[in-house]
Structure 1
Amino acid sequence: MKVLLFCDPGIDDSLAIIYALQHPGIDLLGIVTSYGNVSKEQATVNAAYLAGLAGRSDLPIISGAEFPLSGENTQYYPEIHGPDGLGPIRPPKQVQGNYKGFAHLFSIVKNHLNDLAIIDVGRSTSLSAAFNLNRDLMMRVNKIYLMGGAFHVPGNVTPLAEANFHGDPIAVNVVLKYAKEVFIAPLNITNHALVTREIANYIYTASRSVFKELIPPVTDFYAAYYRKMNPGMKGAPVHDVLPFYYMMNEGLLFAKERKVSVLTCEDGRGTSVADLRNSSRNDGSKRHIALQFNYRHFIADFIKIMTG
């Protein structure tokens, strides 16, 4: 499957990039970087750094959004993702890469329209801008996968809102309005996609990957934050890997097809809204909300891919 990735790496974004680069069934065509977990500039460096480690310095790294559509100041999360977004890992300040302007993503979409999926694991500002600038083309993309939202479960930045949907709810609504078909991996499942220290150490021991040295320290750093916030939590939730897993194993996840919107008002900002009552039915909206997944299958797949 050919993929254009929108992200803001960030620890879990970085693990998703590694997963995509190593998956034999995924052809990563480009990475669009933007603000979110870190600044756009740092996200761009991190993406190029990871691509370079994999021997993919040819991979287009496309410059995206610096701030949300509201124009407000952005907030970054070094306590979660580390000073540079890779936990304790400090990439070089400057990294050689195949850096491209925003318009380059339209060339990728045009050239691979029939077999392209877009995965967005960030704030969706850049993806919404792509719809704004070339709506006719973007509406022809067959499938878009989002990591975001929290449906009838607690949020992670407010009691109700998940970070990506909260970061730019206006942008998410643009994507939900105009995209042909959307698959959402919300906190309902991503919170349970845990990588324990034992799993990370096994990957390090068994791996033939150039990324093996990164996995234990990065996941340990990430897990430490979650244990602080949720005492007793057994590992690091790799939120942003889930959309890739969803794409490659669509039939293994339980999802409901419902219209989705995101609140933009101050009090409820970022709250994801859908009618998930048992009495409601699939509504033909082509907005699929993944609500259950098989953890054992997921973690076996994750280990297989991450060990190379």
Structure 2
Amino acid sequence: MKKKVLLFADFGIDDIMAIIYAYYEIHVEIVGVVAEYGNVDKRTAIRNARYLQRNTGRYDIPLIGGAERSMTGEPPIYYPEVHGPEGFGGYVLPEDFQAEGDVFENFHQIYDIIEKFDGELNIVCVGRLTSLATSFILYPETVAKVSDIFVMGGTFNFPGNVTPVAEANIYGDPYAANIVFNFAKNLTIFPLNVTQKAILTAEMVNEIEILNKEKNSQLGSIIKPMMDYYWQFYKSQIPTIPGAPLHDVVTLWGVFNEKHIKYERKPVKVVTSQGSAFGQTIGDFRDFIQLAEYPVHRIAMEFNYTAFINRVIAVLTVELNNHQSL
């Protein structure tokens, strides 16, 4: 049975890859998309989501405007060197594309979607946690009806990617992450130490490009210029890396691949005090019977890379071209 997913994303490269994957993954049914600030500003995130609507024909899926800024009160920091100024890396949107309207406010639709799929819905959050935390504040009894929540964020016993100890999604709004980690039930965390291994190599990107060109796939043509740009950034930081990691795709893939993932349930805390540890996620992995009294959540520790990457390539080539509506 397909997993019904409400996706929260901030529509940089890995988010865009995740939603393209999700639209053509037969095990997933996307029932709503929340576009918020993060890798890009909210207006650009909504524009990017609309462009993907145009290229997939999925106008049936509600698009919800999420948060515009974090709960820290600080202006958001964007990362054009990672995702490109428009969030599409080296891919340039065609001149004939015009986003419809400006930023809109329809956040209440999150409530409607959760109520509609009472007990069947999975939330997957692969961006900042601001909109998800806001849902916990506004609709606590309704959010409690969600079956499972999957979050890409944090890092455990592994360096951060924004500071020496903090990962970007958590660091961007630790206050929001603290709300989610304190109040979420059935929460699964896919941390950086796992997602960093979900690499789509340059050779794989070229293979996907060749197969999609043979099918004259307009949507498939987005992938290579995005992933090449993403890889160039990663190479500038990690010269030996063979490609770029699909942080958000592996999190979404994890929703229906329990047998291919090793988890541990451990107490987790988010550092919200200002200082060098701001935004750090602390997991108590000690071999003690008595551990820290933090909320306990399920944390992904390892995954079957071969099973993951084979499925991703199949979806981005065969499934995409078999089901693309344009």
Q: Displacement of 1:205 after TM fit?
A: 2.1
Which residue does the alignment assign to 2:231?
A: 223
> CA separation in 2, counterparts of 1:266 and 1:285?
21
Which one-letter code corresponds to 2:117 in the other structure?
Answer: H
Structure 2 vs 1, CA of residues 286 and 264 (structure 1 numbering), >3 Å: closer, same or farther? closer
Contact 1:88 1:218 in 2 (8 A): yes
Q: Displacement of 1:279 after TM fit?
A: 4.0
Which residue does the alignment assign to 2:123?
A: 118
Which one-letter code corresponds to 1:187 in the other structure?
Answer: L
Compute the TM-score of the two structures, normalised by the length of structure 2: 0.90
Compute the TM-score of the two structures, normalised by the length of structure 1: 0.95
Which residue does the alignment assign to 1:269?
A: 278
What does 1:184-195 correspond to in 2, within 5 Å?
Answer: 184-195=189-200
What does 1:18-57 correspond to in 2, within 5 Å?
Answer: 18-57=20-59
Deviations 1:153-197 (A, max 9, x none): 000000000000101111011111211210111111111111111
- 107, 114, 138: which is aligned to 2:112? 107
Contact 2:269 2:294 in 1 (8 A): no
Contact 1:57 1:96 in 2 (8 A): no
Q: Secondary structure at the match of 1:114?
A: coil
Which one-letter code corresponds to 2:270 in the other structure?
Answer: V
Which one-letter code corresponds to 1:71 in the other structure?
Answer: G
Question: Percent same amino acid among aligned pairs?
Answer: 40
Q: Secondary structure at the match of 2:85?
A: coil
What does 1:157-196 correspond to in 2, within 5 Å?
Answer: 157-196=162-201
> CA separation in 1, counterparts of 2:296 and 2:204?
35
Deviations 1:57-92 (A, max 9, x none): 232110111111121111111111001001022336
- 2, 9, 14: which is aligned to 1:7? 9
Contact 2:127 2:169 in 1 (8 A): yes
Deviations 1:107-156 (A, max 9, x none): 11100022110000011100000111111111221200000011000000
- 284, 288, 291: which is aligned to 2:298? 288
Q: Displacement of 1:294 after TM fit?
A: 1.4
Q: CA RMSD in A?
A: 2.0
Contact 1:180 1:286 in 2 (8 A): no
Structure 2 vs 1, CA of residues 302 and 278 (structure 1 numbering), >3 Å: closer, same or farther? farther
Which one-letter code corresponds to 1:259 in the other structure?
Answer: P
Q: Secondary structure at the match of 1:225?
A: helix
> CA separation in 2, counterparts of 1:257 and 1:210?
42
> CA separation in 2, counterparts of 1:123 and 1:296?
28
Contact 1:256 1:276 in 2 (8 A): no
- Count of equivalent residues: 308
Q: Displacement of 1:281 after TM fit?
A: 8.4
Contact 2:82 2:233 in 1 (8 A): yes
- 79, 87, 90: which is aligned to 2:92? 90
Q: Secondary structure at the match of 1:118?
A: strand
Gaps of 5+ in 1: none
> CA separation in 1, counterparts of 2:158 and 2:203?
28
Q: Displacement of 1:280 after TM fit?
A: 5.5
Structure 2 vs 1, CA of residues 28 and 71 (structure 1 numbering), >3 Å: closer, same or farther? same
